[in-house]
Structure 1
């Protein structure tokens, strides 16, 4: 009975944590769409305070210069670290990219939007801590469950540090991409813990497993491409170019990203085809959901370009992509090679 209660408590905390991480990814996308990613020019504080100011009245006249110098000082130390590790090109970008020198003017709305984003991040940190604590109730059954619980906690702290680098480098594209990949890794580990604890039934199908695994692995570059496209859109947000002309400014990365989506659709449709042959109803239902998510993500991507990048479509496109990755990973965990 005690074990059953512990399992229910863990699964409840695990599900809430997973849902909160997905929510934070969505909120982060909304923050970026609203151009509030640099609403707070410092980290973890916001304009030197743990609670952001409501006006610029209390800030010194040269506040932009002050916070720019603080960011650049931090970036110098960061660049030196990467240089020692042999990443000279990245080190040069951190210190010489002209976009890093740009300092946004104080905007109370953007500051509070970014501040709320950070508060949600703190809440998730607490949930991840609870997820780790409850994972130790399974130490006798499997040492890997608490090991993964601790790993998620450590990764979440590291993710917070990477978030500070995103701010100090003024949303440098490479750091944003890495930030996103770390978030997906945390999502994947939380899903693994959930499946492991629930001891869900699996289907043994060699072809389905291979297709699922390949499609999951192929989807990671698609996420990277999408994040890079997102970076281009971020630059357009602060430019003087009208939304109606953004489609003309997109790089080749966008066209690769768009074409690549057909490969993902082919993979998920193939999974549905083999799921039908297995006659496993839960698998058929979830592969249909997977194909639907891919189709909706493609429609959202087309809608962005055709309707001049409306505000609400961009976060929707991202959360659909994260949903695709999550379901792909979950299904792959429940499909095994035939022994």
Structure 2
């Protein structure tokens, strides 16, 4: 009984940590998409303050100390609040990892996942620092997004494993369950790649490289002036301010087209290989519905971003729903797992 109670408490903390991570992801997207990523030019303080300059004398002192980056109070609070939230998530993740390790016998190996999250989140904090000190370097910004999603996935997987039992119905063929597990794992991998492409698109300011044109791009299905070589140069050195982007239009168009192609591949696999197969069985049908809804919503938000000119609420929601799609796929993966997994 004590073991069950302890596991239930860990599950609640894991869900709290996962939801906390989702909030940090969405708020981080809000900060990045509202061009507030460099609104605090130093780290971890903001113009030398624990909070941010508000009063006139504080703003004057900050402007004198950082003449190349005048204070924008309406943006600075966003960046510093995001840092506070990230700090709270680090503490929550550590608490989960410590509790899981102390109850590792009850968790049967699952304790390794929160421990991995606690190690990974420290690297995520470094990426957050480099995002500022390396002035929105695209590879770092993309890595920071992937790091946040990975932390969220580890925390969510811990919570799901402690909540969702595997299928015990003997009428569900083992071969079918194993195939659905593999297809779902591939879907998670494709979604992860697409999230990386989305981060690369955003960090290079390529979201509107095709204007408001969709599904074509600038009136063409395959623009002839795309520069794929420049589009995917990952490392360009340190010292350049990447705010606003440094690529020309041909490279940004290439990035946008690759992101669209990735979306088609993800939609095709998840919709027709994962959702369709999971919907056949009563044990996995609710999960198929959840994945399908998240997938359709994500695609709709992506199209709306282009057609409406990247409105901040929709662009922010696009990041959040990507995490929800990842969560729904992880839930299905947990549902069809075997004892060996």
| TM-score normalized with structure 1 length | 0.79
Distance between the aligned counterparts of 1:18 and 1:328, measured in 2? 15
Per the alignment, residue 273 of structure 1 pairs with: 276
Runs ≥4 residues deviating over 4 A: 247-250
The Cα shift of 1:234 comes to 7.9
Per the alignment, residue 69 of structure 2 pairs with: 104
For each residue in 1:262-303, what CA deviation from the matched residue of structure 2 results, as whole angstroms up to 9, or x when unmatched? 2222222222222233332xx111212211211111111111
Give the counterpart of 2:139 among 167, 171, 174.
174
Per the alignment, residue 191 of structure 1 pairs with: 156
Please state if 1:254 is matched with 2:226. no
The Cα shift of 1:235 comes to 9.8
Distance between the aligned counterparts of 2:328 and 2:88, measured in 1? 24
Per the alignment, residue 201 of structure 1 pairs with: 166
The Cα shift of 1:138 comes to 2.4
The 1:181–1:206 alpha-carbon spacing in structure 2 relative to 1, beyond 3 Å, is same
Per the alignment, residue 292 of structure 1 pairs with: 293
* Range with greater deviation from structure 2 (248-257 or 219-228): 248-257
Per the alignment, residue 230 of structure 1 pairs with: 202
Per the alignment, residue 104 of structure 2 pairs with: 139
Maintained 8 Å contact 2:166/2:334: no
Distance between the aligned counterparts of 1:152 and 1:325, measured in 2? 16
Distance between the aligned counterparts of 2:196 and 2:85, measured in 1? 24
Please state if 1:156 is matched with 2:157. no
The residue matched to 2:43 in structure 1 has which SS? Answer: coil
| TM-score normalized with structure 2 length | 0.78
Please state if 1:58 is matched with 2:30. no
Q: How does 1:214-225 map to 2 (within 5 A)?
A: 214-225=186-197
Per the alignment, residue 19 of structure 2 pairs with: 19
The Cα shift of 1:44 comes to 0.7
Per the alignment, residue 331 of structure 1 pairs with: 332
The 1:337–1:51 alpha-carbon spacing in structure 2 relative to 1, beyond 3 Å, is closer
The 1:110–1:293 alpha-carbon spacing in structure 2 relative to 1, beyond 3 Å, is same
Maintained 8 Å contact 1:6/1:134: no
Per the alignment, residue 234 of structure 2 pairs with: none
Distance between the aligned counterparts of 2:111 and 2:338, measured in 1? 26
The 1:57–1:135 alpha-carbon spacing in structure 2 relative to 1, beyond 3 Å, is same
Maintained 8 Å contact 1:138/1:145: no
For each residue in 1:180-218, what CA deviation from the matched residue of structure 2 results, as whole angstroms up to 9, or x when unmatched? 121222122212322333461236413312221221112
Maintained 8 Å contact 1:32/1:234: no
Distance between the aligned counterparts of 1:328 and 1:276, measured in 2? 13
- CA RMSD across the alignment: 2.6
Distance between the aligned counterparts of 1:62 and 1:117, measured in 2? 23
Q: How many residues align?
A: 293
The 1:296–1:114 alpha-carbon spacing in structure 2 relative to 1, beyond 3 Å, is same
Maintained 8 Å contact 2:166/2:338: no
The residue matched to 1:200 in structure 2 has which SS? Answer: coil
Maintained 8 Å contact 1:35/1:234: no
The residue matched to 1:186 in structure 2 has which SS? Answer: helix
Maintained 8 Å contact 1:33/1:234: no
The Cα shift of 1:314 comes to 0.4
The 1:51–1:122 alpha-carbon spacing in structure 2 relative to 1, beyond 3 Å, is same
Unaligned runs of 5+ in 1: 65-102
